[in-house]
């Protein structure tokens, strides 16, 4: 077991990248979210909205990806601590999944607002 407290910045950065890599390997939904983020970035390059829209879209996308990573961490921890089905563990997992849903809906709201904004400009 590694001690991650009081490590150098670069050591902690390696831990974070290791977590991201593990999430990508283990979770199809995270891979989908990252693919969607790539498509969104390409769309932003093509459409070239104002910088504020870039910030909103990137923040919303980062929120979805972050929620997905936290959901993954919670699921792995819950499964490790309590491998068999349990009503309380189900509630924890469902709430974590709901957080991803809320972040995704917020990101869709930002995308909708951007589309409305772009259509109003034409």
What is the model's pLDDT at position 9?
Answer: 93
Tokens (6 digits) for 67: 């929620």
pLDDT tens profile 75-108: 999 999 999 989 999 999 999 999 999 999 999 9
Quote the mean pLDDT of the chain: 94
Residue spans of the domains in the chain: they are 9-121
Question: Which residue's entry shows tokens 């936290």?
Answer: 70
| Residue 110 pLDDT level (bands cut at 50, 70, 90) | very high
What is the model's pLDDT at position 122?
Answer: 78
pLDDT at 1 > cutoff 90: no
Cα 43 to Cα 24: distance, rounded to the nearest angstrom: 23
Cα 106 to Cα 5: distance, rounded to the nearest angstrom: 33
List the catalytic residue out of 27, 50, 68, 84: 68
| Residue 5 pLDDT level (bands cut at 50, 70, 90) | confident
pLDDT tens profile 29-49: 999 999 999 999 999 999 999
User: Is 75 assigned a catalytic role?
Assistant: no
Domain 9-121 matching CATH 3.30.420.40: the answer reads no
Give the number of other Cβ atoms within 10 Å of residue 43's Cβ.
13
Cα 101 to Cα 90: distance, rounded to the nearest angstrom: 16
pLDDT at 2 > cutoff 70: no
């Amino acid at each position: 077991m590694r001690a991650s407290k009081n490590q150098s910045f670069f050591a902690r950065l390696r831990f974070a990248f290791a977590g991201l890599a593990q999430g990508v390997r283990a979770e199809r939904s995270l891979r989908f979210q990252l693919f969607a983020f790539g498509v969104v970035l390409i769309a932003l390059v093509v459409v070239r909205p104002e910088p504020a829209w870039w910030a909103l879209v990137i923040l919303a996308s980062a929120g979805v990806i972050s929620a997905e990573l936290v959901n993954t961490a919670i699921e792995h921890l819950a499964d490790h601590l309590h491998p068999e089905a349990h009503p309380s563990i189900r509630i924890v997992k469902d709430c974590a999944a709901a957080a991803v849903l809320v972040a995704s809906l917020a990101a869709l709201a930002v995308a909708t607002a951007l589309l409305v904004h772009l259509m109003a400009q034409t």
